[in-house]
Structure 1
Amino acid sequence: MDIQQAVKTVLANYAKFEGRSGRPEYWWWVLAYFLAAIVAAFVGGMLGMGELVLNLLTLALLVPNIAVGVRRFHDIGKSGWWLLIGLIPLVGWIAVIYFAVQPSQGPNQYGEGPQGPAA
């Protein structure tokens, strides 16, 4: 999976909170979102709109960010509610990153596992 395919997959599953997302899909999405945020902040600054453009991007991609996070937690066998641990300052983000880097497990209560690209 490459960055383009990950972005298409996440946006196609915009509000899908069931199922699983593998590490490549999740981390490519995080990178794409980070790069889009940098561009949005730059464009907003150039247009004299301050943080408006960045805030609009954040709001527009809030649901897919949560959905891919929930599916990533499902992939390691945890409930999506564990994503809320990220609300704890500093320690929560460290925990979310720790869980997000864990390898995919075999079949679990959330499904068979993320499907790779069709060959």
Structure 2
Amino acid sequence: MEAANTEEINLRHVEKDVLIPKLMREKAKERCADKVEAFNSCCKESGFFMVFKCREENSALKECLTLHYKDPAFFEECKQDYIREKLEFERTGVPSKNRKQKLPTSM
């Protein structure tokens, strides 16, 4: 199968402004996993006082996520991933979340 040129794909407003940023948030959380974990752990340990006790962890997490959100190369990478998924869905009719699941070995 010939690979489609993802540069030629026209994206709708909702794709550029909602769906690709959603993908960016998901990928940024993966890339900042250590900071997400540190913040979550702090919140669990601090209970009601997390607002005061977890400022440092919250700041580190926000800084990491913002670094990715403002990176044009990261946006482009996520855009290309989104387009590949879109083209694959148009070709197969199977959403990516269903394609990634293991098929049962017996029915």
Give the TM-score category using the shorter length. 0.3 to 0.5
Larger Rg: 2
TM-score after normalising by structure 1 = 0.33
